[in-house]
Each structure stands twice: as structure tokens, then as C-alpha cells.
Amino acid sequence: MSDALVTTEIRRSAKQFFRYGLVGIASNLSGYLLFLLITYWGVEPKIAMTLLYAVGATIGFIGNRQWAFAHSGTLLEAGARYFIAHSFGYLINFLLLLIFVDRLGYSHQWVQAGAIFVVAGFLFVAFKYFVFPKTASCIGGRE
């Protein structure tokens, strides 16, 4: 791969990561604040996370597909892959709460805050290479 293509791909990835981060900050900050509120009201943390994860993932699909990754592929196929990726993201989040809160006794507030970053890192890679992969139309620089 030529230096120009490598540089172009690095810039493209940085742009995607920045946009993914903005979508994530908006959805995760509001979701985390709701998590704190409903767990304060007595809802069990894994139940609260489950409800908010589903809502955040649904909202995030639109922002990530259209803006962060500028995906022009089939909506249904991308949606199915998005569901698969988020199923793994949910499982990671659930296991982090189960292990660190239920088994090791850490505060659910801190564990969930850390889990947001762990899951976000996993999902960026999954979205970039699995859910919204670069199509032939994007190779020429169109995004």
C-alpha cells in the first residue's frame, strides 16, 4: 500500500473515530445520567443498563450509519450486523457489571462508567470493519 493510501486511510479512520466519539458522547452521557437516576430510585443496575442499552443502541444506529461512518450499503444488512455487534457489546457490559459489582463488590456507578469506554472501544472496531465496512464507492474517497 502506498504512503498516500495509508495517509488517506489514517485520516479517514480519525474522522470516523471523531464522529463516532461525538455520537457516543451525546448518547452515553444522557444514558449514564439516566442510569444514575433510575438506579437511585432503586432499579437494579443490570436491569437499568439493559433498558438504557437498547434505547441508546437504537438511537446510535442512525448517527453512526449516516454520519460517523457514512455507510451507503444495505440498511437491512447493516442493521443485522449492528444488532450482532451490539449483542456482544451488551454481553461485555453485562459481564463487567456481574463480575465487578455482584462478585467483587465494586460500586455500580464506577463500573458502569468504565464499561462505557470498554464497550465503546470494542464497538468502534466492530462498526468500522464489520457493521459499516468500507464499500467500493468509498474507496475513491467519497464519504
Separation in Å, CA 58 to CA 30, 51, 53, 62, 110: 14, 11, 8, 7, 24
Mean of pLDDT values over 69-75: 89
3 state DSSP class of 52: helix
Positive or negative, the CA dihedral 34, 36, 38, 44 is: positive
Specify the pLDDT at position 58: 85
pLDDT of residue 67 exceeding 90, the answer is no
Distance CA 79, CA 9 (A): 24
pTM: 0.80
Is pLDDT at 4 greater than 90 in this prediction?
A: no
Rounded to whole angstroms, the Cα distance separating 48 from 62 reads: 23
